[in-house]
Amino acid sequence: MTLKDKTTVTFYNGLTTIGGPMIEVAYNKSHILFDLGEVYRPELGLKLEDEDFQTLLKYQLIGDVPNFYDPKVTGKEIDTERWEHAAAFISHLHLDHSKALNLLAPEIPLYAGPITAEMLPALNEKGDFLLPAAGHDKTYTRPIIAAEYKKPIQVGDLTMEVWPSDHDAYGATSLIIKTPDHKKIAFTGDIRLHGYHPDWVHEFLAAAKGSDLFIIEGTGVSWPEEKHDDNSEEFTGPKNEVELTEEIVRLQNINPKRQITFNTYPTNVERLLRIIADSPRKVVLHAARAHLIKRSINEDYPYYYLPGEEKFTDLNPELEVAYEELLHDDHEYLWQAVGDYNHLQEGGLYIHSNAEPLGNFDPAYKPFVENFAQHKIEYKALRCSGHADEKELKEIISEVQPAILAPVHTLHPELEENPYGNRILPKRGETITL
Ligand SMILES: [Zn+2]
C-alpha cells in the first residue's frame, strides 16, 4: 500500500473564519473539492471587479487549491496524469460557499442540490453575485449539475451523496463521501436544528453516524463572550423559524387597521413562502423578488413596482398591485418594502426579518433603523439564525459520534469538542491521512 491508496483530506480555507470552507478529499487518482465560496470581509472594501485571482489569494478569501481552478485564471495547467477523476460540490447558495464557483475549471463537473443549482444562475442574472468566469460575460454562471438527493455519485474511486439539510439558505445540503478503503467523511455545510426541517438534518446525521471524519461548521461557538447576553435581539426574538412565522401572523392579527410592511433576505425563500402561506393578509412582493421566485421555482405571487422601475416580462400582469394602492392600504396587504420608506404611513409597522442591512456590524444598519423612528414607523427586527447554537452543535456531534471531528467555519474551532473520539484543528493548507 502506498500513500496514494489511502484517503487524504486537505483543508485549504475557511477554518478559523466564518465562511469559505474549501476542503479536498482524495484517494488515488480521484479527488473532490467542497465548497467554492469566498470569505466575506467587507472591511477590505473590495469591489467585485477588484477581486482578481491574486487578490483573492492574498487576502485568503479563497484557498490556494491546486488542480481545480481554471488554468485561464491561475496560469497553471491541471495535472491530469496525477488526477484522472475530479468533481466539486457546493453545499448551498450563500456567497461564502458559492461565489468562486466560476473559477472552477470548465471540464470539472460541479454538483449541488437541485434548488441551489436552479437558483444560482437566477441570482447571478445581473452579474453581481458570483465572481466572473474567464472568457465569459459577467452574467454567466458555469453549468451546475443538480444532484439527486441521497443518490450515490461516482467520482472515480470516490462516491459522494448529497443530503437535504436545513439552513437559512433555501435548498441547503450536506455531503457524505465514501472511499475504497472504507472511510466515511461527512460535511455538514451550514446547519441548524431549529429550522423548518430538523427531520432532514437528523436523517443526514443518521447516515453520517460513525464517520471516520466529521467536518462540522461552528458558527454558533464563534462569540463565547456573548453567550449570556440576554439583552440581544436573538434571545428575546423567536426561538425557531416556526415561531418567527407565527409572530408575523400574530402582528397582523393584533393590528387590523395599520399599514404593515416587511422584508426578508432574498435567498431565504422558504421563510418567504411560509409568510405568504400563513399570513391572513395578502402578501405582495417587490417585483425583483417575485421575479427571483418565478425564475427559481416557477411560482407566481402578487407583486408591485416602485415608480420608474423596469418591467419583468416573466411576471403575470394580472398579479400586479398598484404601488399607490399599497401606500394607502392599512388592512388588506402585508407587503415587501425595499426602499422609498419615507412614503410609508406614520404609525405603521415595518418587520425586518434578516433582510439587508443585516445588523450592527454593517455601518448602514443604524441610519436605516433611525430613519423609521424619524418617520414614526415602528421598526421590528424578527430574526432567526441559520446556524446551530452551542447546544445544537453538541447534539449534532452526539448523533454522529465520529472517530475524528474537524470543526471549520468558526472563529473558535477549539470550542467544539468530540467526546466520542479525536478532535483536530487543521491549519490552512494542512493534509491529513485517514
Ligand atoms: Zn450559509
The 3-class SS string of 115-167 reads HHHHHHHHHCCCCCCCCCCCCCCCCCCCCCEECCCCCCEEECCEEEEEEECCC
What CATH number is attached to the domain comprising 273? Answer: 3.40.50.10710
Region for residue 430 given its phi and psi (left: phi exceeds 0; alpha: psi -120 to 50; beta: otherwise): beta
Q: In 172-226, which ranges are E strands?
A: 173-178, 184-187, 213-217
Domain count, the chain: 2
* Mean per-residue pLDDT, 43-69: 93
Q: Which residue, of 381, 405, 423, is where some domain finishes? A: 381
Residues 85 and 176 in one domain: yes
Q: 410 in a domain, yes or no?
A: yes
Distance 271 CA to ligand 1 centre (A): 15
What is the distance between the alpha carbons of residues 234 and 387, in angstroms, rounded to a whole number? Answer: 12
pLDDT band at residue 43 using 50, 70 and 90 as cut-offs: confident
CA-CA distance, 16 to 177, in Å (whole number)?
23
Which residues are paired to 186 by β-bridges?
176, 214
Mean pLDDT of the chain: 95
Distance, in Å, from the CA atom of 289 to the CA atom of 197, rounded to the nearest integer, reads 24
Q: What is the per-residue pLDDT across 78-107, written as a single tens digit (0 to 9) for each? A: 999 999 999 999 999 999 999 999 999 999
| Contact (CB, 8 A) for 179 and 157 | yes
**The three three-digit cell numbers of residue 342, written as one number:** 419615507
Q: Which domain holds residue 279?
A: 241-381
- Centre a 10 Å sphere on the Cβ of residue 25 and count the other Cβ atoms it contains: 27
Which grid cell is 99?
A: 461565489
Q: Is 197 part of a structural domain of the chain?
A: yes
- Does residue 129 sit in the same domain as residue 261? no
Q: How far apart are CA 27 and CA 157, in angstroms?
A: 7
Is residue 234, in this structure, part of any structural domain at all?
Answer: no
Give yes or no: residues 9 and 101 share one domain: yes
How large is the average pLDDT for residues 8-18? Answer: 96
Element (H or E) spanning 22, and its range? strand 22-27
pLDDT at 289 over 60: yes
- Phi, psi (5° rounding) for residue 26? -135, 145
d(CA 347, ligand 1 centre) in Å: 35
9 & 108 share domain = yes
C-alpha 74 to ligand 1 mean position (Å): 27
Q: Which of 364, 381, 398 is the last residue of a domain?
A: 381
Could you read off the pLDDT of 298-307 as tens digits, one per residue?
A: 999 999 999 9
Separation of CA 94 and ligand 1 centre (Å): 5
% of the chain surpassing 70 pLDDT? 97
> What single letter denotes the amino acid at residue 313?
T
CB 350 within 8 A of CB 335: no
> How many C-beta atoms lie closer than 10 Å to residue 79's C-beta?
9
- 251 and 196 part of one domain: no
Reported as a single tens digit per residue, the pLDDT across 238-260 is: 999 999 999 999 999 999 999 99
Same-domain check for residues 348 and 404: no
Distance 275 CA to ligand 1 centre (A): 21
Give me the amino acid identity at 241: E
Residue 349: strand pairing partners: 260, 378
Would 231 be classed as within a structural domain? Answer: no
**For residue 233, is it within any domain?**
no
Q: What is the mean pLDDT of residues 393-400?
A: 98
Determine the average pLDDT of the residues in 278-292: 97
Q: What is the pLDDT of residue 48?
A: 82
Range in 42-46, 124-128, 168-172, 288-292 the model is least confident about: 42-46
Q: How far is the CA of 288 from the centre of ligand 1 (A)?
A: 22
Distance from residue 423's CA to the centre of ligand 1 (Å): 23
Q: Are residues 266 and 155 in the same domain?
A: no
C-alpha 108 to ligand 1 mean position (Å): 24
Residue 66 maps to a domain? yes
Q: Which of 381, 397, 413 is the last residue of a domain?
A: 381
Predicted confidence at residue 227, as pLDDT, reads 61
pLDDT class of 236 with cuts at 50, 70, 90: low
Tell me what pLDDT residue 234 has: 45
Residue 5: the pLDDT is: 86
In a domain, 236, yes or no: no
Question: CATH no. for residue 409?
Answer: 3.60.15.10
Q: How far is the CA of 169 from the centre of ligand 1 (A)?
A: 6
> C-alpha grid cell for residue 172?
441547503
Q: How far is the CA of 258 from the centre of ligand 1 (A)?
A: 34
A 10 A CB-CB count for 179 gives: 22
Q: Which helix (H) or strand (E) holds 289?
A: helix 287-297
| The pLDDT value given to residue 360 | 85
My answer on whether 309 and 406 are in the same domain is: no
- Predicted local confidence at residue 128, as pLDDT: 93
Whether residue 408 lies inside any domain: the answer is yes
Give 233's pLDDT tier (boundaries 50, 70, 90). Answer: very low
In terms of domains, do 92 and 218 share one? yes
Q: Read off the pLDDT of residues 147-205 as tens digits, 9 standing for 90 and up.
A: 999 999 999 999 999 999 999 999 999 999 999 999 999 999 999 999 999 999 999 99
The model's pLDDT over 341-363, given as tens digits with 9 standing for 90+, comes to 999 999 999 999 999 998 888 88
Together in a domain, 394 and 376? no
pLDDT of residue 3: 58
Task: Look at the block and give the residue holding cell 479536498.
Answer: 24
Distance 180 CA to ligand 1 centre (A): 31
Residue 226: is its pLDDT beyond 80?
A: no
CA distance 180 to 197: 32
Ligand 1 centroid – CA 39 distance (Å): 11
CA of 58 to the centre of ligand 1 (A): 23
Q: Are residues 11 and 141 part of one domain?
A: yes
Domain co-membership, 189 together with 277: no
**Cα 55 to Cα 51, 61, 104, 129, 427, distances in angstroms:** 6, 8, 17, 18, 21
Helix orientation angle between 269-278 and 241-253, rounded to the nearest 10 degrees: 40
Which whole number is the average pLDDT over 62-83? 97
